[in-house]
A and B are shown apart, each in its own frame.
Chain A
Amino acid sequence: MGLQKIDFVETRGNIVRDCPGTKNHICCGYKTIDLIEGCVLSCSYCILKEYINAPNIKINRDMPYILSQINETIEAEKTHILRFGTGELSDSLALDRRYGLNRPLIEFFGETKKALLELKSKWASIDHLVPYLNPYTVISFSLAPQRIIDYEEKRTSPLYKRLKAAKKAQDSGCFVGLHFDPVIIYEGFEKDYEYLIGDIGRILDLKKVLWVSLGLLRFPPRLFDRFLEEGRKNLLYGEFIRGEDGKYRYIKKERLKIYRMLYGLLKRQEEDLFIYLCMEREDIWRGITGLTLEDNEALTGLFDNRIKNLYGGNI
């Protein structure tokens, strides 16, 4: 899988950071762990290549330092239940079977019991982690109709494998996360998402889904030119505008329509699902969920409540 060279580094400095989010949009207060920089999966819409100015994949293997940074961050937080993830600058699982990077993290969060680790992936390989999984690790998969996986996520696991791996994680005592991100408009996408969400309802225990995110395709302007050059019909099918953050995103009318459709389909499967919008405007939040979120803090509060409801006093 992949031809990119792997560089092992021992970077000092801020390994744990606030998720950058995007300006003038509601963000969830996620913490990122820069364990790996770069990704072997090479999805066509991936913005990592725009952000990471290096051809090789960097793996930070100084685990004691990384754990100390995470611990410091957890200890410094007095208000919220922190959520950490390694999937911001890479895929959390794609290289894990080969390099065993997640095991010490999973064990650390399981012992600490004060925060959650989310392993977010499109690569359905968790068998090697199953013996170590505990409720403080959330196994999450990005989900998309198989047509999008076939055309735009060519090196990733097929949908059925992702769902199978998510089920396995649930059976191993973990909560799972589901990320419909990026949702892509293409001819017939509505029906495909309807089937996809139906499959999820049949395969997974939706009571053990900690969170579901919805995020429509958005990207920096330079990617628009690349999509044109590569003739990415699926990615360019919808109608884009430049958002307040400078990124291209679908026009608001479309965003509202699609969020409403997905939100409705998911809620029909399980009324109690915790669904959040990734990097969206306050008015879109209100239009879809009926919730008025004044700021990022309000969304972080919703996450706190969700976690407390499911974990009780165990966190």
Chain B
Amino acid sequence: MQTVFSIGVDALAYGMVLFVISIGLSVTMGLMRVVNLAHGAFAMIGGYIASYAARDLGLAYAVAVMLAVAGTILIAIPIERLLYRRIYGQPELTQVLMTIGITFCIIGIANYVFGPTLKTIPTPETLREPVSLGFRTVSSHRLFVIACGAAVALGLWYFIERTAFGVKLRAAVDNAAMAAALGVRTQVVYAVSFAVAVGLAAFGGVVGAELLPIEPYYALRYMVTFLVVVSVGGAGSIPGALAACLLLGAIDTTGRYLMPEFGEFFFYLAVIAIVWLFPRGLAGRAK
């Protein structure tokens, strides 16, 4: 029972981290139709900035998180303007090559600047103590992560479904040319969504650093995980992405607990099975 419970908590926390990081990818992919393999690299940049701020500069955790989000967005803006702009609407292969090139560059630079070792982000005291739920105690960090994921999901839902910007965003996702003709400034919509996506990636990278440790090959190692979430959930769908994250988080965590010697074998097997069964994603629409 204890095992089932801790698997459940860990799976939920892992799924929420995946959700926070990949939801931005899902939204931008649905909006801009760019296969962005470099998304994990932005999460990694966020993790590095937070680690530098909290460990080397000794700043508070909350400040480090904010710095990481802001810093990553600052780094991402020129990349978007100079490189991503040119691949909107291009064939998939071109997009894959460009974004994988960006990923390789970021990995190489991170390796050069920060070295090949694992980076930790020191968490404040309150997040390190276990919390009693009455019948069980759980790590408060896990609870914090789960709460962050839930907050992001709710916030995004409100942002997309209930605000004026969300209306424009959905219009641009459905038909960018038509939205532009009706006076929606799609360039602004694109830029804001890209910034939000990158910021969320950085946030997820920092919050989830205990589950997905920050190191130079982070971007490559979890690239497939983030892409899987999007393709399983269906690009642009928040409920789809949430369902995919929780499902994949559960599969991966259970596999690690019960059969650690098989590594990620079952995870990839599940990925193939799920994509095989739902080639358009759980909540995907026909093209």
Chain A bound to chain B:
no
